Structure 1
């Protein structure tokens, strides 16, 4: 349904050189079928001040005067100065409004530079109202008060000529008013701190203009401070997770060696047993050979066990590397703070690997000793090697 202000806009746009007289505009109009319905409706609403409706004939040129709405909910402004100087429109836009100098109507999607800047300023004011501890508002002005370590007063004073772009202010507004965004109260605190830092040394009546001028800096500081807050917030949570993983992996690494500790006692026992069972025969006999066969089987089983522990260590190291990769992808900025726990795990892995190698070496030494004993007891005293050693 077309409203009265829309009918006024239709007539205004059809005029040649309209002139404003207070709450009305006047100009010469060539009557067409497109404007007759609007003229008729304005006459019914007593907004058509001249001429009488009976003189409105298609194709004629007449002088018309139309009354315009200048109320708080609907406003027909001659200029941006006219709009901002009326009511409290510097702080809150009317529900429906039109600015003649820009041919901008709030009900249409024909955004202009000034309308975009006006909307951005109102978004900024919405943010400041939400963050402020107290709002002193009247028709004569608006003053916002922020209580942080000190008290900061921010009078909202600006003119149409002061309108300027406020980049990405809508993003900040969404941060505060979108329910899906977290840390709303902390965001408010961050904004108050930055306002205090940015404006405390500026004269009261110039503070809002400085905020508009330096909004890019203000927005960057807000982003940096919030990123720092979320990083610290995430740091504690992620650090707890890293510590839990470190403990888990440390237990797994230690278990690799502890799993074979009981079997390690069998290494010297096997050497003692083989040494006690072997007897000088001066030739290869079945009793010594059976003892040696048992030694070979024992060494083979120990070798399989050691190979298995090597594989287990490799699998654990793969898990540690995978966890480090996840940390890098999710928390790259925090990685330097988490480097030490993972370095300790890598050192623990190397330590456990060396222990397994030592066990492997002991088994090899034990086997070589058993082979030497078997060879010694299976040859006569005239064998060249035995003869060479004993003589």
Structure 2
């Protein structure tokens, strides 16, 4: 006989309080099973169903039977859900085959009673709690948390402890632990919340109190994890921003370093122009010297202008990238973005000053070349321009 055969018998039995029941023989299968049990003592030992009436059973009759617990490997026969919850390993997983006399429910029946749905949700909580516990004693049905002191939480509960909001709170808790990211930290936060909630209670009431106040546990886990993530993200963002700031500062300063050779050439060129230009009255050596010096000055200014324009474009690219990074921090981490505003403003200010410096250098170089041109015109006599007319 299978457990399904026993369930068919249980469904047609009115159970009494003393292990007896009144069975209605509603089918030939039930009648055949009774005959097989009566004829085979070993089968009786397995199913623990015996006839109490002397008259032979007949189809459609109601007979008195003694009903005991079947062999455990067949399935469980329990009076109510409270008894089911006390079954071996029922604290960690739902038994595979069982029949609950009140309300007449067999495993696999649809729809499942609300109590059973809450019990299944509770098993999800137990699975999460056992991962958060320091260790689990499955024989004693205990969760053990070890922190500043040892906290034991026996897994003992009744159907009355499974509130109507249990499934909703279980869903909240599962959402937190669904993502494996920071799993160890989440379990530590949960363990701390459990110990704080039940640590001061008697062991016998700890788990029911935990189940009834699961919403408070969810709140603590949510707040603790948000605090952890905020701290983690802030530290990471701060390191990233500081690294980017150092990199940007280096690139900004490099715009001056790259042309500092040309910048050092400005005073040298000024001295050369001032010392080499002589008064020229014809097409002699002074004229050609002055012309060469002026041409060199303008070539120097042209090369310097090219370098300044190139570095100006580099600063423009850096300014765009800095503002993009600032906007990304503002969009992704609005709560902490204000903490880094000064660093971005400092970088933008540095770019402004470097642009001003490049503009000033370009202006000084252009003015120097213009003054050199004026000096050239003043030192060169009128009509000397004909000296460069190669066709003369």
Query: TM-score w.r.t. structure 2 length?
Result: 0.73
Contact 2:89–2:138 (Cα < 8 Å) also in 1: no
Deviation for aligned residue 1:326 = 5.4
Deviation for aligned residue 1:190 = 1.9
How many Å separate the matches in 2 of 1:210 and 1:97?
A: 28
Deviation for aligned residue 1:233 = 4.2
Contact 1:104–1:115 (Cα < 8 Å) also in 2: no
Map of 1:9 onto structure 2: 7
How many Å separate the matches in 2 of 1:299 and 1:160?
A: 91
Map of 1:167 onto structure 2: 168
Deviation track 1:250-288 (CA, whole Å, cap 9, x = no partner) reads: 222211110000100222333333344444568999745
The match for 1:18 among 9, 14, 19 is: 14
How many Å separate the matches in 1 of 2:21 and 2:340?
A: 71
Structure 1 residue 83 and structure 2 residue 102: aligned? Answer: no
The match for 2:24 among 28, 33, 40 is: 28
Map of 1:274 onto structure 2: 273
Deviation for aligned residue 1:38 = 6.5
The match for 1:303 among 302, 305, 317 is: 305
- 219-228 or 106-115, larger mean C-alpha shift: 106-115
Deviation for aligned residue 1:309 = 0.1
Change (3 A) 1:6 1:365: farther
How many Å separate the matches in 2 of 1:321 and 1:85?
A: 64
The CA RMSD measured in Å over matched residues stands at: 4.2
- The answer for unaligned runs of 5 or more in structure 2 is 38-42, 383-392
- 297-306 or 206-215, larger mean C-alpha shift: 206-215
Equivalent residue runs for 1:1-391 within 5 Å: 4-13=2-11, 15=12, 18-20=14-16, 25-28=21-24, 30-31=26-27, 36-37=28-29, 40=32, 43=36, 45-46=43-44, 47=47, 49=50, 61-63=60-62, 67=67, 69=69, 74-84=75-85, 89=90, 93-102=94-103, 104-107=105-108, 110-133=111-134, 142=141, 144-164=143-163, 165-167=166-168, 169=170, 172=173, 181-202=180-201, 204-280=203-279, 287=288, 291-324=293-326, 327=329, 335-336=337-338, 338-377=340-379
How many Å separate the matches in 2 of 1:40 and 1:317?
A: 91
Change (3 A) 1:250 1:220: same
Question: Secondary structure of the equivalent of 1:98?
Answer: strand
Deviation for aligned residue 1:360 = 2.2
Map of 2:385 onto structure 1: none
Change (3 A) 1:12 1:304: same
How many Å separate the matches in 2 of 1:123 and 1:19?
A: 33
Change (3 A) 1:258 1:61: same
How many Å separate the matches in 2 of 1:296 and 1:21?
A: 115
Map of 1:388 onto structure 2: none
Deviation for aligned residue 1:218 = 0.9
- 338-347 or 350-359, larger mean C-alpha shift: 338-347
- 223-232 or 298-307, larger mean C-alpha shift: 223-232
Deviation track 1:201-237 (CA, whole Å, cap 9, x = no partner) reads: 5555443333222212211211332343344445545
